[in-house]
Structure 1
Amino acid sequence: MKKEFAVIGLGRFGGSICKSLSEQGMEVLAFDIDEDKVNEYANIASHAVIGDSTDESILKNLGIRNFDHVIIAIGDNIQASILTTLILKELGVENITVKAQNDYHEKVLSKIGADQIVHPERDMGRRIAHNIISNNVLDYLELSDEHSIVEIVASENIDGNSLIDLDIRAQYGINIVAIKRGKEIIVSPQATENIHEGDILIVIGADTDINRFEKHVI
C-alpha cells in the first residue's frame, strides 16, 4: 500500500517535500492557508486544500489522524507551527516532522511531542561548510550533534590498501559502511577489500574521529 503524507505549509521547503514525495508515487495532501500556493500544487499533489492548520475542525474533517506522516513546514509563523503540532498530537497523528526556525522553537516542539525536528537552513549550511573545507568530502549528513555519515573520496594516499591494512575501525573508531566504485556499490565491505583512488567511502562515526581520519589518511 502507498503511504499517505500530508504537507502543511507550501513554502520552498514544504513545496520541495511535496514534489519529491509525489514524484516517488506517494499519496500527498498539500495544505496551506494561501490559495495561490495551494493552486500551484493542485496538479502535483494527490489532494490540495486551502485552510488554517490551527483550526482543529478543518484537520479533523480532513481525517488528518489517518495519515502515515504529517510534515509541518510552516514558514515564519512560529505560533502557528507550535499550535498545529499540538493539535496533531491531540488528534493522535503517529508521525510528525516539524521545521524549526531556531533553537527556541526546537525546544518547544520537543516538549510538546514532535517526533522529528529539522533545521533545513542550518543543516544545509553545515553541509556546505564541510564540502568547502575539504576537497575530499562530497556529502555530509548529521545524525546527531556529534555523529555523522560522510562521503569521502579516497586519495592516492590509500590507493591499493585494504581496510584491514588501514585498520580504520581500531585506529579511528569509525566504520566504512559502503564503497561506491563507479556504478558499483559495495555494502558492508570485507576487511580484505582493497580501496582504489577515486572510490567514494561512506563513513559513519563521531565527527572528531571522522576529522582525524580525513587529516591523517585522506
Structure 2
Amino acid sequence: MKQFLVLGCGRFGSSIAKTLYELGHDVMVIDKDSEKIKNISQHVTHVIEGDAKDEKIIRSLGVSNFDIIVVTMALNIQSSILTSILLRELGAEYIIAKAQNELHAKVLYKIGVDRVVFPEKDMGAKVARNIISPNIVDHINLSSDYSIVEISPLKQWFGKSLIELNLRRKYEINVIAVKQGDDINISPRADYVVSKGDILVVISHNSNSKKLMKLVNK
C-alpha cells in the first residue's frame, strides 16, 4: 500500500483520489472547498479542509512521507509552479502535476516535477491506474461490468505461448489482440509466443480490477 497526497479536489483530483483509494491505497486530499471535502470524505483515507496553495499547510504535512504527491490546480499556473517548487524543496519523493498547456508543462519539468498530465487528454481514473501500474498502457470501460485493458507483458512471460501462460484460468483475463508497433494481431492463436515490446489487449470483468493491478505490478 502506497501513501498519496492529492492537492486540490476538483473533478480531476477527486477522480484520481477515489480511484487510488478504491485500489487499496492510503490517500489524503486537501481542498479549501468545504462541500468538496464533505463529498469526498467517505471515499478517501484522510481529508484536510484548507488551501492547498498555503505554504504553512504544505510544510505541516511531512510531504517526504508520501510516496507520490499529485498537484491538480492547473488553472492557477503560478500557484501550481510555486507549490511544486516547495514540494521539491521539502523532499517530496515523486511529484505529478496537472498542466494547462505545453509551456506550463515545460516549466513544471524544469523545476523538477516527475510527471505532467493534461486534463483534456488524461482522465483522472486512468491516470490513477497508470500511477499504480505503469505496465497498464490503456484502460477503456466497455460497460459497468467489463473493460478492455492494454498491458505490457511481464518479463517472465517473454518466450512463452498464450496457451502456456493460461491467462484466462489463472487471472480471468482474455487476450483479444496483440499490438506489435503499428501492427495488431486480432484474436492471436493459442501458440502465439509473447515477446518484449508486445502490448496485450485483454478483456476483463471490472470486479477483477484489483487482481489485474496486482498481476501487472509483480
TM-score tier after normalising by the smaller chain length: 0.5 to 0.7
Post-superposition CA distance 1:78-119 (Å, at most 9, x none): 222111111101111010001111101101101100011111
Could you say which structure has the greater relative contact order, defined with CA pairs below 8 angstroms and 6 or more residues apart?
A: 2
Specify the SS of the correspondent of 1:53: coil
Matched residues in 2 for 1:150 and 1:37: separation?
28
The residue aligned with 1:70 is 69
TM-score (normalised: structure 2): 0.60
Runs (5+) with no aligned partner, structure 2: 124-129, 131-136, 140-150, 164-173, 187-218
Q: Count residues with an aligned counterpart.
A: 154
Paired residues for 1:11-50 under 5 Å? 11-50=10-49
The letter for the 2-side match of 1:29 is M
Q: CA deviation at 1:11?
A: 1.1
Partner of residue 54, structure 2: 55
Q: Which region of structure 1 is more displaced relative to structure 2, 97-106 or 72-81?
A: 72-81
Spell out, residue by residue over 1:7-53, the C-alpha distance to the aligned partner (whole angstroms, 9 max, x if none): 11111111111101111221110111222111111121111012222
Call closer, same or farther: CA 1:202–1:78 in 2, change over 3 Å: farther
Describe the SS at the equivalent of 2:48: strand
Query: Aligned to 2:176, which of 187, 200, 214?
Result: 200
Q: Deviations along 1:162-194, whole A, 9 cap, x unmatched? A: xxxxxxxxxxxxxx965xxxxxxx94364797x
Equivalent of 1:188 in 143, 158, 165: 158
What RMSD in Å do the two structures reach over aligned CA positions?
3.2
Q: Which protein has the larger Cα radius of gyration, Structure 1 or Structure 2?
A: 1
Partner of 2:105: 106
Residue aligned with 1:85, SS: helix
| In 1, Cα distance between equivalents of 2:120 and 2:27 | 24
Q: Which runs of 5+ in 1 are unaligned?
A: 125-140, 142-148, 152-175, 179-185
The 1:71/1:204 distance shift into structure 2, 3 A limit, reads: farther
Q: TM-score, normalised by structure 1?
A: 0.60
